């Protein structure tokens, strides 16, 4: 039991350190590869999937 | 054909019971003092050349030993024969609690005993010396022997209610002694006081399987019920685990501080923009910036001047070299006002969003802001939104450390709770002062 706890503690510490040092975030974004270089000259030509994102526009 | 290595045949002497005429087998080779006839249950003095009846009964409750008399077996590395069996009991609050005791004999090693109560077995050796009894530190009397401390568990008047076979002492049904049981599980000490005579014995909890393997009685060992006074706690002490948790908690805290210190946390881009919802084309790209290091996070921070309005920002973080785009969006909204309850506000003017695992390289950000184009409801919508956009590389992440720390303590806590719960159940049955016990009287002796 004590040995299992030691191993579990090592795993937890190792895992937490890895996530901490690599700056882990669950949000990886929506990755699109090979977007055209023309975006620099014509930013309006690029539309990501978030363009029709539903948003709350209320208030009290 | 002779079987290989035949077991030595036990030497048995038979006598005739002077009470009923039945045959009484003696296995104690002259070491026994009293024997009980299995037919009429009379207790006989077998040391006397003329066998004398010292106790006879008109009717008596009969018990059947789990290990038959005459059974031989090797226990603790020594061969013993079961030569006697008695049932003893204590009486608590009108209830009789009876247990079985077996007399084991080896002509070279003498007498040993086995006691069994509800499937819990104890191997007992007589002690040639007395244990030292002291008052423990607020926990009641303790007995000390051979460097071990035993806590007093129970004091009771112990009554012999049935005997069978031979005994090295002058046994009598109805005989009552004051018994005190001390425990340092799996070990125990028992003190029996009869008049001026005090006998100490040392016991050790033993499994029924071990008894069955040694003596091979018929059937299977009875399943243990409840928690016995010297039963070992199945939950190991959590001392080592607490130390381990303490050590790793400290390590995590050190690593967390190191993460805070050594994280890149570098502002790679910042600029202030103004967005007008009526603009023909809202999207634009920032100048390129360098994201250093290996894979690390990128945080985009927004500080706006919103008031009773919202803005939505569509971001694409684009790697100049590879053409890989990371698309994310963030809405910022802030509403405020006054009503009968006073001032209220909802949302915030500033917000941020983080992307994980972004490889190093040269990047630029495509930004497409969006906001309300016309007044909505009672609110006055600001027509233009001014905002400061910051891109930060390698924000320190400490939540994994904070999340891991409680998990480190779960096992030692569970283990300690289980162990304490077991001990609580054990000691709930304790009666160190013998307050509830009395000597019952249910003899039918003539």
What pLDDT is stored for residue B376 in this prediction?
53
Gap between the Cα atoms of B164 and B82, Å rounded = 11
Q: Which of B265, B335, B337, B397 to mutate to test the interface with A (most CBs of A within 10 A)?
A: B397
Tell whether the model's pLDDT for residue B2 goes beyond 50. Answer: no
- In this prediction, residue B361 carries a pLDDT of 95
Q: Is residue B378 scored above 70 in pLDDT?
A: no
**Lowest mean per-residue pLDDT among A46-55, B77-86, B237-246, B277-286:** A46-55
Query: Which residue shows structure tokens 């891991």?
Result: B404
Please choose, from the candidates A55, A49, A6, the residue with its C-alpha nearest in 3D space to the C-alpha of residue B312: A55
Does the pLDDT value for residue B6 go beyond 50? no
The model's confidence at residue B386, banded by pLDDT at 50, 70 and 90, is very high
User: Quick check: B72 and B7 in contact, CB under 8 A?
Assistant: yes
* pLDDT digit string, tens, across residues B155-205: 999 999 999 899 998 888 889 999 999 999 899 999 999 888 899 999 999
Question: How far is C-alpha A10 from the geometric centre of its chain's CA atoms?
Answer: 26
Report the percent of chain B where pLDDT is more than 70: 91
Q: Is the pLDDT of residue B401 over 60?
A: yes
B78: Cβ contacts below 8 Å, ≥ 6 apart: B106, B109
Q: Which residues of B311-323 are buried (b: 16+ CB within 10 A; e: fewer)?
A: bbbbbbbbbeeee
How large is the angle between the packed helices B399-428 and B239-262, nearest 10 degrees?
170
Spatial separation of the C-alpha atoms in residues B92 and B224, rounded to whole Å = 21
Name the residue in chain A with its Cα closest to that of B364.
Answer: A40
Q: B148 or B441: whose pLDDT is higher? A: B148
- Is 0.95 exceeded by the ipTM? no
**Exposure string (b/e) for B249-281, b if CB count within 10 Å is 16 or more?**
bebbeebbeebeeebbebebbeeeeebebeeee
User: What span, in angstroms and rounded, lies between the C-alpha atoms of B402 and B346?
Assistant: 29
How far is residue B310's CA from residue B304's CA, in Å, rounded to a whole number?
A: 10
For chain B, the average pLDDT equals 88
* Rounded average pLDDT over B337-353: 94
Residues whose CB falls within 8 Å of the CB of residue B352, separated by 6 or more in sequence, listed in order: B299, B300, B301, B302, B330
Q: Choose the mutation target among A9, A36, A38, A39 for the interface with B, i.e. most B CBs under 10 Å.
A: A9
A29 neighbors B327 (Cβ within 8 angstroms): yes
Confidence of residue B374 (pLDDT cuts 50, 70, 90): low
- Closest by CA to B63, choosing from B90, B94, B84, B34, is B84
The SS3 call for residue B115 is strand
Q: Is the pTM of this model over 0.80?
A: no
So what's the pLDDT on residue B442? 52
pLDDT value at position A36?
83
Percentages of chain A per state (helix, strand, coil), in multiples of 5: 50, 5, 45
Q: Tell if the CB–CB gap between B372 and A48 is shorter than 8 Å.
A: no
Nearest to B332 by CA among B307, B365, B297, B357: B307
d(CA B260, CA B398): 8
CA B281 – CA B401 distance, rounded (Å) = 44
**pLDDT tops 70 at residue B288:** yes
SS3 track for B405-419: HHHHHHHHHHHHHHH
A 1-60 residues with CB below 8 A of B?
1-2, 4-6, 8-10, 12-13, 15-17, 19-37, 39-40, 43-44, 46, 48-51, 53, 55-60
- Tens digits of per-residue pLDDT, A10-60? 999 999 999 999 899 999 988 988 888 878 878 877 766 544 444 445 544
B394-418 mean pLDDT? 94
Mean pLDDT over B371-393 rounds to 75
- Tens digit of each residue's pLDDT (9 = 90 or more) over B289-341: 999 988 899 999 999 999 888 999 999 999 999 999 999 999 999 999 999 98
């Amino acid at each position: 039991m004590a040995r299992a706890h030691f191993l579990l503690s090592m795993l937890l510490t190792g895992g937490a350190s890895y996530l901490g040092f690599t700056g882990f975030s669950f949000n990886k974004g929506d990755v699109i590869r090979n977007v055209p270089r023309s975006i620099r000259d014509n930013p309006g030509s690029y539309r990501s999937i978030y363009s029709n994102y539903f948003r709350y526009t209320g208030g009290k | 054909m002779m079987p290989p290595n035949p077991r030595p045949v036990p030497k048995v002497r038979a006598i005739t019971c002077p009470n009923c005429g039945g045959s009484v087998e003696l296995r104690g080779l002259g070491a026994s003092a009293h024997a009980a006839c299995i037919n009429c249950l009379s207790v006989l003095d077998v040391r006397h050349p003329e066998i004398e009846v010292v106790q006879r009964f008109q009717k008596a409750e009969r018990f059947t030993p789990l290990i038959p008399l005459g059974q031989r077996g090797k226990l603790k590395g020594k061969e013993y024969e079961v030569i006697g069996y008695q049932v003893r009991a204590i009486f608590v609050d009108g209830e009789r609690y009876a247990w079985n005791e077996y007399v084991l004999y080896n002509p070279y090693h003498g007498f040993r005993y086995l006691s069994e109560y509800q499937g819990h077995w104890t191997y007992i050796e007589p002690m040639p010396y007395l244990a030292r009894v002291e008052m423990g530190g607020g926990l009641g009397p303790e007995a000390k022997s051979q460097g071990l401390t035993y806590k007093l568990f129970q004091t009771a008047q112990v009554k012999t209610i049935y005997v069978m076979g031979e005994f090295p002492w002058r046994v009598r049904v109805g005989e009552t002694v004051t018994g005190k049981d001390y425990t340092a599980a799996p070990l125990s000490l028992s003190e029996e006081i009869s008049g001026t005579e005090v006998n100490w014995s040392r016991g050790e909890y033993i499994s029924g399987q071990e008894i069955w393997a040694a003596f091979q009685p018929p059937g299977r060992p009875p399943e243990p019920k409840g928690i016995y006074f010297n039963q070992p706690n199945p939950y190991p002490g959590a001392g080592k685990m607490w130390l381990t948790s303490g050590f790793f908690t400290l390590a995590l805290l050190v690593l967390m501080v190191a993460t805070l210190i050594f994280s890149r946390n570098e502002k790679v881009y910042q600029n202030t923009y103004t967005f007008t919802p009526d603009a023909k084309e809202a999207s634009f790209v920032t100048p390129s910036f360098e994201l250093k290091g290996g894979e690390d996070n990128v945080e985009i921070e927004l500080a706006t001047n919103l008031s009773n309005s919202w803005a939505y920002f569509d971001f694409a973080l684009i790697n100049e070299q590879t053409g890989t785009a990371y698309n994310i969006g963030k809405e910022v909204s802030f509403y405020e006002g006054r009503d009968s309850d006073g001032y209220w506000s909802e949302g915030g003017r500033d917000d941020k969003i983080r992307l994980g695992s972004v490889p190093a390289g040269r990047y630029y950000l495509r930004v497409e802001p969006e906001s309300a184009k016309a007044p909505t409801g009672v609110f006055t919508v600001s027509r233009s939104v001014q905002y400061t956009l910051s891109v930060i590389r390698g924000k320190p992440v400490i939540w994994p450390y904070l999340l891991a720390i409680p998990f480190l303590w779960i096992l030692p806590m569970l283990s300690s709770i289980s162990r304490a719960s077991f001990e609580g159940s054990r000691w709930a049955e304790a009666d160190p002062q013998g307050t509830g016990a009395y000597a019952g009287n249910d003899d039918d002796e003539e």
